Amino acid sequence: MDLVVVGASLAGLRAVESARRAGHTGPITLIGAEPHLPYDRPPLSKAFLCAGGPAQVRPFRGEAELRDELGVRLLLGTPAQTLDTVACEVSVGDQAVPYDALIIATGASPRPFPGTSGIAGVHQLRTSDDAVAIRSALDGGARTVVVGAGFIGSEVASAARARGHEVTVVEAASLPLSRSIGVDAGTVCADLHRANGTDLRLGVGVAAIESSDGRVTGVRLDDGTVLAADLVVVGTGVAPATGWLRGSGVPLHERDGGVLCDETLWTGVPGVYAAGDVAHVPNPLFDGDLMRLEHWTSAAEQGAAAARHALDPASARGLAPVPYFWSDWYGHRIQFVGTPDCDEVQVVDTDTFTALYRRGDRIVGALTVDRPREVMKFRKRIAERGDWSEALAFAGVSAREGAA
């Protein structure tokens, strides 16, 4: 049985590892658009951007280990171009790669700012090449403007401030992240930026990114202000990388083009499963909500499960994960477990900050700042469909202990 994994990042790597662990002895092909071996992305916007941080992005596993120990045929540096679900083939360059089982793990690509392609000093942050370029600009003392106050952009701002650089973050919404974590938590995020010397401009859009001789010079805002800049990082979200699946018969979400799966990660097309940032998956823990998660833990878990299920569909079990992400800003750790899609958000600790999210009579989410001991206690309650008032009582006790 030929297993083909398209996408050579965390989900794809975990698919390969899990297939071998499950006893698959047949051929495995791993196809990746980037020329690099699979590497870890969260550090790209964190430790890697720090002065004195690691100088290179290290792969999870070396090439010899992947090839010889895991028996993986690597096709790196060329993206998959099309999928033929009738012939059961993926085209890569001029090759047709046949599969019996296929894992789609192509992730998501940042949305570019229109008209900036080829302008030096304008970057997005997704790949190690992006991170190397941004780090190099920060090393050179760049005046930095970040477009979009999301997690990635905010981590870049944090890294720039840690080096003492001037940083401006421009966000079209009236608060950072309020749609993804709520108004109260969004306010805390805005305060973190301002308390650390980042110039946060809210409720204003970017009219244009200005350049001279092919190099960025500044960012012009909707209100006419021009912010001088040597480095502009655009962090305004990503779109699932599924252009290669158009017309393949794999069902795609009408809004963002992500791959639609069932809770076992099956796409409905024989032998074809999806995992990671690319996949929309219903989550039975949250009333079957369709979730597309851009989280490390989801990519790892789904990658491993997709391969097991693809190789042995009869054994497939639906996943019911508690989503989890974290972000590091100015030396503070923001952690979120569960879903922000709720009936009520209650702030239970204003000292460091903890907010709980209620749906019906259950706790469905928790956001903490600098509360590493507590966040997984909330996660456990969310996983067990825990009672809201009990969660509030626990939070009250825990906050008092923390303050004592």
Partner 1 sequence: MRIVADRARCEGLGMCEAMAPDFFEVGDDGTVTILDETPGEEHRAAVLAAVDACPVLALSLDG
The end-to-end CA distance of the chain, in Å, is: 60
Q: Are 205 and 221 in contact (CB under 8 A)?
A: yes
- 259-260/279-283 β-pairing: parallel
Q: Which of 131, 363, 375, 399 binds partner 1 (CB under 8 A)?
A: 375
C-beta of 37 vs 227, nearer to partner 1: 37
Stretch that binds partner 1, among 74-82, 204-212, 234-242, 369-377 (CB under 8 A): 369-377
Q: Considering the rule CB under 8 A, would residue 373 count as an interface residue with partner 1? A: yes
Considering only the stretches 71-79, 215-223, 226-234, 373-381, report the one whose residues sit in contact with partner 1 under the rule CB under 8 A: 373-381
- Decide: is 267 part of the binding site for partner 1 (CB under 8 A): no
Compute the least distance from the CB of residue 383 to partner 1, in Å: 8
Q: Name which of 202 and 376 has its Cβ closer to partner 1.
A: 376
The DSSP result for 301-313, as a single string, is HHHHHHHHHHH-G
For helices 388-403 and 372-383, give the axis angle rounded to 10 degrees: 170
* Widest distance between CA atoms in the chain: 66
Distance CA 104, CA 249 (A): 13
Shortest separation between residue 375's beta carbon and partner 1, angstroms? 6
Q: Which is nearer to partner 1, 40 or 263 (CB)?
A: 40
Question: Which listed residue (115, 247, 372, 396) binds partner 1 by CB under 8 A?
Answer: 372
Among 16, 75, 304, 342, binds partner 1 (CB under 8 A): 304
Asked if 191 and 202 touch (Cβ cutoff 8 Å), the reply is no
Q: Is 335 in the site for partner 1 (CB under 8 A)?
A: yes
- If one asks whether residue 300 binds partner 1 (CB under 8 A), the answer comes out as yes
For residue 172, give the DSSP letter: S
* Least distance from partner 1 to the Cβ atom of residue 300, Å: 7
8 A C-beta contact, residue 3 and residue 18: no
Q: Report DSSP state, residue 67.
A: I
61 binds partner 1 (CB under 8 A): no
73 is an interface residue for partner 1 by CB under 8 A: no
Eight-class DSSP state of 162:
H
> Which residue in 244, 326, 336, 357 binds partner 1 (CB under 8 A)?
326
Binder among 324, 336, 388, 394 for partner 1 (CB under 8 A)? 324
What's the min distance (Å) between Cβ of 377 and partner 1?
A: 9
The identity of residue 245, as a single letter, is: L
Least Å distance, CB 150 to partner 1, is 19
Shortest distance (Å) from residue 3 CB to partner 1: 19
Select 296 or 330, whichever has its Cβ closest to partner 1: 296
For strand 101-104 and strand 108-110, is the pairing parallel, antiparallel, or unpaired?
unpaired
Note whether 323 and 32 are within 8 A (CB). no
Please tell me whether residue 380 binds partner 1 under the rule CB under 8 A. yes
Does 42 interact with partner 1 (rule: CB under 8 A)?
Answer: yes
The whole-angstrom separation of Cα 308 and Cα 304 is 7
Residue 220 or 333: the one with the smaller Cβ distance to partner 1 is 333
Structure token pair of residue 194: 């301002």
> Which positions from 270 through 299 interact with partner 1, judged by CB under 8 A?
296-297
Binding residue count for partner 1, defined by CB under 8 A: 22
Taking phi first (over 0 means left), then psi (-120 to 50 degrees means alpha), and beta for anything else, what does residue 381 get? alpha
CB 338, CB 323: distance < 8 Å: yes
Closest CA to 127 of 246, 200, 38, 192: 38
**Residue 72 φ/ψ, nearest 5 degrees:** -105, 130
Q: Least CB distance from residue 336 to partner 1, whole Å? A: 12
246 in contact with partner 1 (CB under 8 A): no
- CA 200 distance to own-chain centroid: 23
Residue 296 Cβ vs partner 1, minimum distance, rounded to whole Å: 5
Q: Please identify, among the stretches 68-76, 167-175, 269-277, 372-380, the one whose residues bind partner 1 according to the rule CB under 8 A.
A: 372-380
Residues 6+ apart with CB under 8 A from 78: 31, 33, 92, 93
Residues near partner 1, by CB under 8 A: 14, 40, 42, 60, 296-297, 300-301, 304, 322, 324, 326, 333, 335, 372-373, 375-376, 379-380, 383, 402
